[in-house]
């Protein structure tokens, strides 16, 4: 049975910024100009349907920037993707949720762990229970390296030995891209915790599709970012 429209705008208890899921929610937001409301309504069609993205509707320009940032990182880390259960990017989200105490992210990723049609060859649902045990035999060598690398980045405790292991396994470019993705996910956890976003199952809950990166338009974003960069004024003529 379809949920009533009034339920779509139900706010999690204690939320510090409203979640703007509908045009009516946006119209009721007095802090947005008419131009910003128009952009916010258009943005509803451009971001994945989840409360995290809908909360960013409070600032549609920043929401757009955040989405382009994420899509750009997904493109750079292709063929990995955070919706691939047990993959490195997925482990970044799971581990950062644990390390930052981000209830929304932890719940959201646990749901993905049960429902996503995408998974790595190393995925085992039991891994959700041993995130704090990177030496568990449930992890593959690459997963174990990823978890230790994520923890070292988050805690600012990187060692020469661990960095060299990652460089040999992934290469210089992927190491840098992985670090930037860790920082991006950490920012999301900080925003969600600061705004007191908690997980409430709603009909707008995001689900990962088998062709998710195609739906996100990752290739178009990469091409657009290259064109934007080439049009940027040079800092040193």
How far is the C-alpha of 56 from the C-alpha of 236, rounded, in Å? 35
**Of 192, 204, 158, which Cα lies nearest the Cα of 178?**
158
- φ, ψ for residue 85 (rounded to 5)? -55, 125
Chain mean pLDDT for the chain: 92
Q: pLDDT of 168-183, one tens digit each?
A: 999 999 999 999 999 9
Mean pLDDT, rounded, for 8-18:
85
List, in order of start, the domains of the chain with CATH numbers: 60-231 (1.20.1290.10)
User: Is this structure's pTM higher than 0.85?
Assistant: yes
How far is the C-alpha of 92 from the C-alpha of 179, rounded, in Å? 10
Q: At what angle do helices 160-170 and 172-194 cross, to 10 degrees?
A: 110
Read off the pLDDT band of 206 (50, 70, 90): low
């Amino acid at each position: 049975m379809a949920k009533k429209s009034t339920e779509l705008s139900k706010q999690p208890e204690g939320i510090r910024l409203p979640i703007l899921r509908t045009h009516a929610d946006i119209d009721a937001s007095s802090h947005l100009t008419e131009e910003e409301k128009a952009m916010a309504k258009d943005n509803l069609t451009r971001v994945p349907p989840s409360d995290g993205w809908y909360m960013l509707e409070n600032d549609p320009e920043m929401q757009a920037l955040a989405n382009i940032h994420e899509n750009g990182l997904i493109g750079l880390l292709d063929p990995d993707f955070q919706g691939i259960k047990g993959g490195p990017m997925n482990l970044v989200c799971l581990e950062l949720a644990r390390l930052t105490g981000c209830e929304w992210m932890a719940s959201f990723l646990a749901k993905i762990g049960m429902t996503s049609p995408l998974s790595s060859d190393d995925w085992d649902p039991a891994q959700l229970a041993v995130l704090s045990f990177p030496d568990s035999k449930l992890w593959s060598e690459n997963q174990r390296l990823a978890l230790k690398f994520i923890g070292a980045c988050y805690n600012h405790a990187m060692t020469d030995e661990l960095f060299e292991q990652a460089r040999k396994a992934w290469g210089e470019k992927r190491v840098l891209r992985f670090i930037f993705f860790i920082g991006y996910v950490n920012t999301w956890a900080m925003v969600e915790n600061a705004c007191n976003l908690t997980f409430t199952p709603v009909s707008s809950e995001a689900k990962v599709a088998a062709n998710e990166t195609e739906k996100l338009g990752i290739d178009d974003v990469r091409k657009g970012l290259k064109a934007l960069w080439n049009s940027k004024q040079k800092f040193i003529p």
